[in-house]
A and B are shown apart, each in its own frame.
Chain A
Amino acid sequence: MNGQTVESSDTHYRLQLKGITKQYPGCLANDKVNLEITPGEIHALLGENGAGKSTLMKMIYGVTKPDGGEIYWEGEQVTIKDPSSARHMGIGMVFQHFSLFETLTVTENIALALGDDAGDLEELTKRIVEVSKKYGMELHPDRHIHSLSVGERQRVEIVRCLVQDIKLLILDEPTSVLTPQEVETLFVTLRQLAADGCSILFISHKLNEVRDLCHSATILRGGKVTGDCIPAEAGATKMAQLMVGDDTPISTDYAKSAGGEVFLSVKDLSMLSDDPFGATLKRINFEVKQGEILGIAGVAGNGQEELLAALSGEHILDKAETVNFADTAVGLLDPRKRRELGLGFVPEERLGRGAVPEMSLKDNTLLTGFLQGLVSFGLINQAKTEQFADKIIADYKVKTPNRNAAAQSLSGGNLQKFIIGREILQNPKLLVAAHPTWGVDIGAATAIHKALIELRDQGAAILVISEDIDELFLISDRLCAICDGELSPSKATTETSIEEVGRWMTGVFDSPQDAA
């Protein structure tokens, strides 16, 4: 990729796994997994959610122990008994969900994570500056975490690994939270790191990125290695087939639609965030027609949450006419009344807003489905609720033992299918979906995209807010972007390009008033 020659001989692996097996109650998470990484290699670990990637990483990082198999570190067989010994060996890991304290500074957070190894804070600060400069990751050590963007927070996590002597860096789905530009910056850093001899284990399910970045790839499915390949040569389709198996359809192109009558119209929406660190919305205008999908791109924290709250009714507006469903002004209505008028809503947080983690799927059906005749005279109609829950599970192929399983026991993809199914089966006239496939495996993402397209073709107006540009281009009929609380003009997907939307995402567009 960048001129780094990968040692092709097997004389000197940095890390070698032989026959790693891990059994969890009721599930063989890893089944005789073999994997080799040489110094300076960027190695992809590909697989859907539940394929066993996390388990494997956790064993390398010493969080759990394998039931069978051997781990060799620089040629010697080792037992990694805990993360701190992994760190001392030179293994660093960046988790998908950051573990940072919002009210502390960058340095303090890193010092906390390092524990006794942190040493003097001033020394550490110097080291942080040094490392972040060297690898092109601008980072101010005295800033508080809450003032950092997601991309910057990720840098903190990476720098945390780099301030120590690092030989293997493990990154769990690092790009899922970044803009295309940020992804490029991250890749530059990673390539430079690899050029310096650090091995990188890159966990992902985004094939394009793996093809761009990684020297080699190991693909997992159902806990087993289904193949090894050179991503640059293998091609996305082949890797995808290895990931999901032959029976799952992978990607399709969807026909675009022009839409009909306007259903949702937002007029001159300006509002202050409920969150002290949130974005202020500035004169936002847009419309969504029946039978079309409008996609709003943007980096997290640019006003998406505020816009969503204004649409869902969680934030009641000052003027009714600011948000309209067809001819009804709904700006002053609460979420329930908006649902009665045909709103379906898929929030960003699956657990904790879209579904109550501790409650069963049946109860979570009732959570938003209560308007579908599931309640009579104030009492819950158990039979109907169960029927509805079963219908969602069956129609949307939600993998779960039964409707009484707790929402938190489902994988992200399955829970998202459940939530989307729950909303769609209520026949919404307007569906607002935030990050509908965030952290979801390809199979589930495809199913969700199909469901959205189908709903569109039935004539519903759909608004999708996502950080995943590829996804937006795939399913949206029209696109715009939000930046710092302002909305760009929108264009038909066929008439714009990733570059243009990328520019909108950074705030380069004329005037928000042009948006139609």
Chain B
Amino acid sequence: MFLKLQPRGEASKRMSYLSPLLAGILTLVTGGIFFIFLGHDPFHALGVFLISPVSDLYGFAELCVKAAPIMLCAVGLALAFKAQVWNIGAEGQLLMGGLLASAVALQLIEAEGFWVLPVVLLSGALGGALWGLLAAWLRNRFNANEILTTIMFNYIALYLLLYFVHGALKDPDGYGFPESAVFSDSATLPILLEDTRLHIGILFAMFAVVASWVFISRSFVGFQIQVLGLDSNAAKLSGFKHKRLVLLVMLISGALAGIAGAGEVTGPIGQLIPSISPGYGYAAIIVAFLGRLHPVGIFFASLLMALIYMGGELAQIELNMPLAVTSLFQGMLLFYLLACDVLINFKIKLNKSQVAGAEQNTVGNA
């Protein structure tokens, strides 16, 4: 190796902001190369992928439609990650939110009134929150690793949803298709822009961004969450309630993901179908880190992630590419972000002597 990594001594602030940008650029370059190999003009292809989707008002509206659930999930995840609670289960919490919201919306299909929608959305939040709390309880009670439990709960949630959409919640007049009845207007999110699908979910998401910002930086509970994540011993000595905080962050992040799920079924979809999320909950993990776990960062990262989703769809239509191109770009983004994050704590040096490098490391660990 001609290059070696040298510890910086202290984390570079500048690099922690530059790293997501660098990761974005590297993703673009790699994506371009990838398009060349597939026989496309890379600039045209990247244009189709990243610019065409938002070239008109409708595209912009769609961007917000997709960004909203990602943003909601990512804001909640960031909170959990700050407490070093590794909630990988936003997808499952989103699905449970969608499922419970659908169940309630179908119960209220005849009902009318302003109260219907809040009830439906709150049941979504409840569904997600309970799903999150379950993992938190397992961690507190049995010391079960939440990474594993939340991932497994994602699958359970998915199959629960499929079970109900094929069974109890299936539309009796739906000719046997695995879909629920279409929700009533009272249980559907109002549209913000006419002739688009842009619904008020994006407002919820933006509210969540601002609220979580205030919560984490101004409230004492937010402070406790940060202390817990940075230094659990200090938190313990100060008498901060570890288990309660874990429950709280899982409750909040679950509820936000649940609202995201409820927003999908009561918004652009309008009914319960087998696939209510193209992996928003997973994408939100990338978004949370890409946004440096900071609400403002998450806001922009969500828009970028939504753009990648739309670009993937458009590339499918215009360039005859498989939909997997979306996952590919997501994966590259995360990959490069993790790689670039190494530079926050390390700098790259030309290696003059390998022995020196090895010894330096042992001393550094002393």
Asked whether, in the complex, the Cβ of B230 is within 8 Å of the Cβ of A82, the reply is no
**B350 beta carbon closer than 8 Å to chain A:** no
**In the complex, A379 has a CB within 8 A of chain B:** yes
In the assembly, what is the distance between CA of A63 and CA of B365, in Å?
13
The listed residue (B220, B231, B353) touching A379 by CB distance below 8 A is: B220
Indicate which residue in B223, B355, B365 contacts A99 across the interface (CB closer than 8 Å): B365
Assembly CA distance A63 to B359 (angstroms): 9
Interface members, chain B 203-242 (any A CB < 8 Å): 218-221, 223, 226-227, 230-231, 233-234, 236-241
A384–B156 CA distance with the chains assembled, in angstroms: 48
The listed residue (A95, A314, A355, A368) touching B366 by CB distance below 8 A is A95
Whole-angstrom distance between the Cβ of A375 and the nearest chain B Cβ: 4
For residue A359, CB closer than 8 A to chain B, the reply is yes
A314 nearest in chain B by CB position: B236
Contacting residues, chain B, for A339 (C-beta < 8 A) = 239
Cβ A352 vs Cβ B356 within 8 A: no
Interface string of B163-193 (1 = CB under 8 A from A): 0000000000000000000000000000000
In the complex, what residues of B have CB within 8 A of residue A98's CB?
366
Judge if A354 is at the interface, Cβ distance under 8 Å: yes
For the complex formed, measure the closest distance between the CB of A320 and the CB atoms of chain B, giving whole angstroms: 17
Q: Which residues of A367-390 are within 8 A (CB) of B?
A: 367-368, 370, 375, 378-380, 382
Cβ contact within 8 Å between B355 and A82: yes
Q: Do B237 and A347 have beta carbons less than 8 Å apart? A: yes
Pick the residue among B230, B240, B353, B362 that contacts A359 (CB under 8 A).
Answer: B230
Query: A82-B353, A367-B238 given as contacts; is B358 within 8 A of A380 (CB)?
Result: no
Say whether A353 contacts B218, CB under 8 Å: no
In the bound complex, CA of A510 to CA of B358 (Å): 53
- Does B360 lie at the interface of the complex (its beta carbon under 8 Å from any beta carbon of A)? yes
Q: Do A99 and B358 contact each other (CB < 8 Å), given the known contacts A335-B237, A353-B234, A380-B220?
A: no
B230: chain A residues at CB < 8 Å are 356-359
Which residues from chain B contact A378 at a C-beta distance below 8 Å? 219-221
Residues of A near B10 (CB, < 8 A) are: 408-409
Specify the chain B residue showing the minimal Cβ separation from A58: B363
Give chain A nearest CB distance to B126 CB in angstroms: 23
Contacts of A375 in B (CB 8 A): 220
A352 with B366, Cβ < 8 A, contacts A82-B355, A368-B238 known: no
Residue pair B239, A356 in contact (C-beta under 8 Å)? no
- Asked if A334 CB lies within 8 Å of chain B CBs, one says yes
A97 to B366, CA, bound (A): 6
A-side contacts of B366, CB under 8 Å: 95, 97-99
Using A95-B366, A367-B227, A370-B220 as known contacts, say yes or no to A336 and B360 having CB atoms under 8 A apart: no
**Minimum C-beta distance from A258 to chain B (A):** 31
CA of A172 to CA of B218, assembled, Å: 43
Q: Does A84 count as interface, using CB distance less than 8 angstroms? A: yes
Complex: how many Å from CA A408 to CA B234? 14
A81: interface (CB < 8 Å): yes
* Chain B proximity mask over A299-313: 1 for CB below 8 Å, otherwise 0: 000000000000011
**Chain A interface extent, by class:** 35 or more
Contact yes or no, B353 A337, CB < 8 A: no
Contacts A82-B353, A352-B234 given; does A363 touch B223 at CB 8 Å: yes
- Does A83 interact with chain B (Cβ within 8 Å)? yes
- Confirm or deny: A102 has a beta carbon within 8 angstroms of a beta carbon on chain B: no
Q: Which residues from A are CB-within-8-Å of B362?
A: 83, 99, 113
A165 at interface (Cβ–Cβ under 8 A)?
A: no
| CB of A34 to closest CB in B, whole Å | 25
Smallest Cβ-Cβ distance to A374: which chain B residue:
B220
A441-B221 Cα distance, complex, nearest whole Å: 36
Cα distance A483–B230 when bound, in Å?
34
Q: Which residues of A contact B233 (CB under 8 A)?
A: 349, 352-353
- Measured CA separation A113–B358 after assembly (Å): 11
- Chain A residues with CB under 8 Å of B240's CB are 336
B359→A84 contact, CB < 8 A: yes
Q: Do B238 and A336 touch across chains, with their CB atoms under 8 A apart?
A: yes
Expressed in whole angstroms, the Cα–Cα distance for A354 and B10 within the complex equals 20
With contacts A82-B353, A84-B355, A358-B230 known, is A366 near B223, CB below 8 A?
Answer: yes
Q: A335-B239, A366-B220 are in contact. List 19 more A-B contacts (CB 8 A).
A: A81-B353, A81-B356, A82-B353, A82-B360, A84-B358, A85-B355, A97-B366, A98-B366, A99-B363, A312-B237, A314-B237, A337-B239, A352-B233, A352-B234, A355-B234, A356-B230, A363-B223, A382-B218, A408-B10
Q: 8 tightest A-B contacts by CB? A: A336-B239, A335-B239, A99-B366, A82-B356, A356-B231, A375-B220, A83-B359, A353-B233
20 A-B residue contacts at CB 8 Å? A62-B359, A63-B360, A63-B363, A84-B359, A85-B355, A95-B366, A99-B363, A99-B365, A99-B366, A335-B236, A339-B239, A353-B231, A353-B233, A354-B237, A355-B234, A356-B231, A363-B226, A366-B220, A367-B238, A382-B218
Residues of B within 8 A of A (CB): 10, 218-221, 223, 226-227, 230-231, 233-234, 236-241, 353, 355-356, 358-360, 362-363, 365-366
